[in-house]
Amino acid sequence: MKFKYVCSDCGREYDSTDILYRCPECSDTSGTDKDEMQKGNLITMLDKEYLVSLKDRKSVTPSDFSPYPIPDITSYPVGNTPLIQPKRLIGETGYTGLLLKNDGANPSGSFKDRASQLVAAQAIHFGENTIALASTGNAGSAMACAGAAYGLDIVLFVPETAPKAKLLQSVLYGAKVIPVKGTYDDAFALSIEYSKIFGGINRNTAFNPMTIEGKKSVSIELYNQLGGKAPDVVYVPVGDGVIYSGVYKGFFDLKEAGLIEKIPKIICAQSEKSNAISRAWSTGELKTIPSASTRADSISVASPANGRMAVRYINESEGWATEVRDEAILAAQLDLAKSAGVFIEPAAAAAWAAFKKDTKENKISKNDSIIILLTGTGFKDLAAVETTVTIPPSIEPTMEAVRKLFNT
């Protein structure tokens, strides 16, 4: 498919024949203020004429909007995740059009499979067999999963403090996992150096524009699942702002194609303890924050890799940012498990916590079609629930003990 790259900050356009990561003109941050959110992330702009031609099709699929052909979908079946109508939560809240999009049902258990699949497609398109990246969790395990499914070599640099369960998962899939005695930034720099020297593709989030582009498939899926319509509102948990931008891009492409009239309001859900994008949106100052420390580790980001683009899209979608406390995030995780039977990791629960907070402030209408994007399964981080639920003590194997338990 024909497409070009457009810098999200300076607007310069680039040909897509070769692999391009960031804007060669404005992404050089040397000498600039380190507190500034980085510039130069690229938007993958599909050929308008092609997009318009999609309007005449009876139906569209995410593959119709993909810059590279998706190889062998059945061996790595990403997407088509369940759209749950949570009857009990609808009853409790009164929001009749509430739906939960459960992306924890993806092959590696998170939304990140969407980006990893497109980066794998990019590698296969260019005849490359190695993909390097830095990640603290889900992106790494998703890329490792894609590598196992497609037979690609994955080289994963991680800060040695990364959550153990997600690292074990990556090792299990057969990736070359390299713990680094340093921060995520150190791992990020090493992975880029590695790709420069050893070749192959680099999948660092936001750095490779395909990580943003791959994530848009969720919006095309939602359009289909809603019977050829866009929802009114989508809640997205946000750290680096890549998932948020991917969700926006999918609706943007549908609008360019003439398939929808309006991009939904996309709500940026962040932890109060990791609120760089929310803060930049509300103050207009595109700055990083000194540190981030939320229990929702997947959205704990002080210097968001796609902050500028995300802030731009919050405004363009006429959405907003909602910050929630960590206690509300953990309570939201319990709420969804107990009242909808959906077990998600804390980062994903931030979207539900933000929705709950906004309902108290009457920010959305009771009849709106609302999607809560649940980005990762809770089974990857069982330690998070050890603080909110406890396993009851054992009893003797007698009915007497059972009766005592039930006070009968």
Ligand X SMILES: Cc1ncc(COP(=O)(O)O)c(C=O)c1O
Which region among 69-77, 119-127, 226-234, 235-243 touches ligand X (by CB under 6 A)?
235-243
Question: Looking at 16, 38, 108, 138, which residue binds ligand X (CB under 6 A)?
Answer: 138
User: Shortest gap between Cβ of 130 and ligand X (angstroms)?
Assistant: 22
Q: Which residue(s) pair with 202 in the sheet? A: 132
Which region among 7-15, 47-55, 234-242, 259-267 touches ligand X (by CB under 6 A)?
234-242
Q: Exposure string (b/e) for 284-322, b if CB count within 10 Å is 16 or more?
A: eebbbbeebebbbbbbbbbbbbbbbbbbbbbeebebbbb
Alpha-carbon distance of 125 to 344, in angstroms, equals 34
Question: Looking at 121, 375, 378, 384, which residue binds ligand X (CB under 6 A)?
Answer: 375
Alpha-carbon distance of 391 to 385, in angstroms, equals 11
Report the residue number, 62 or 304, with the smaller CB distance to ligand X: 304
Cβ-proximal residue to ligand X, closest one: 376
In degrees and rounded to multiples of 5, residue 349 shows phi and psi of -65, -20
Q: How far from the centroid of its chain's Cα atoms is residue 361's Cα?
A: 26
Q: Is 110 in the site for ligand X (CB under 6 A)?
A: yes
Question: Looking at 298, 300, 317, 322, which residue binds ligand X (CB under 6 A)?
Answer: 298
Q: Is 348 in the site for ligand X (CB under 6 A)?
A: yes
Alpha-carbon distance of 183 to 402, in angstroms, equals 51
Q: Is 269 in the site for ligand X (CB under 6 A)?
A: no
Which region among 66-74, 134-142, 331-339, 386-394 touches ligand X (by CB under 6 A)?
134-142
For residues 232 and 265, is the Cβ–Cβ distance under 8 A?
yes
Report the residue number, 121 or 296, with the smaller CB distance to ligand X: 296
Alpha-carbon distance of 249 to 66, in angstroms, equals 12
Report the residue number, 143 or 259, with the smaller CB distance to ligand X: 143
Which region among 236-244, 315-323, 331-339, 354-362 touches ligand X (by CB under 6 A)?
236-244
Number of residues that bind ligand X (CB under 6 A): 20
Report the residue number, 221 or 257, with the smaller CB distance to ligand X: 221
For residues 372 and 98, is the Cβ–Cβ distance under 8 A?
yes
Question: Looking at 67, 97, 214, 237, which residue binds ligand X (CB under 6 A)?
Answer: 237
Q: How far from the centroid of its chain's Cα atoms is residue 407's Cα?
A: 47
Report the residue number, 54 or 235, with the smaller CB distance to ligand X: 235
What x-and-dash track marks residues 112-131 binding ligand X by CB under 6 A? Answer: x-------------------
User: Shortest gap between Cβ of 237 and ligand X (angstroms)?
Assistant: 4
Considering only residues 308 to 347 of the shown chain, the ones binding ligand X according to CB under 6 A are 345, 347
In degrees and rounded to multiples of 5, residue 155 shows phi and psi of -115, 115
Q: Is 163 in the site for ligand X (CB under 6 A)?
A: no
For residues 203 and 119, is the Cβ–Cβ distance under 8 A?
yes
Which region among 145-153, 237-245, 314-322, 324-332 touches ligand X (by CB under 6 A)?
237-245
Q: Is 233 in the site for ligand X (CB under 6 A)?
A: no
Question: 339: buried, middle or exposed (CB in 10 Å: 19+, 13-18, 0-12)?
Answer: middle
Which region among 22-30, 75-83, 179-187, 239-247 touches ligand X (by CB under 6 A)?
239-247
Maximum C-alpha span of the chain: 77
Question: 365: buried, middle or exposed (CB in 10 Å: 19+, 13-18, 0-12)?
Answer: exposed
Question: Looking at 45, 146, 243, 328, which residue binds ligand X (CB under 6 A)?
Answer: 243
Alpha-carbon distance of 336 to 333, in angstroms, equals 5
Residues 6+ apart with CB under 8 A from 53: none
List residues near ligand X by CB under 6 A: 110, 112, 137-139, 237-244, 298-299, 345, 347-348, 375-376
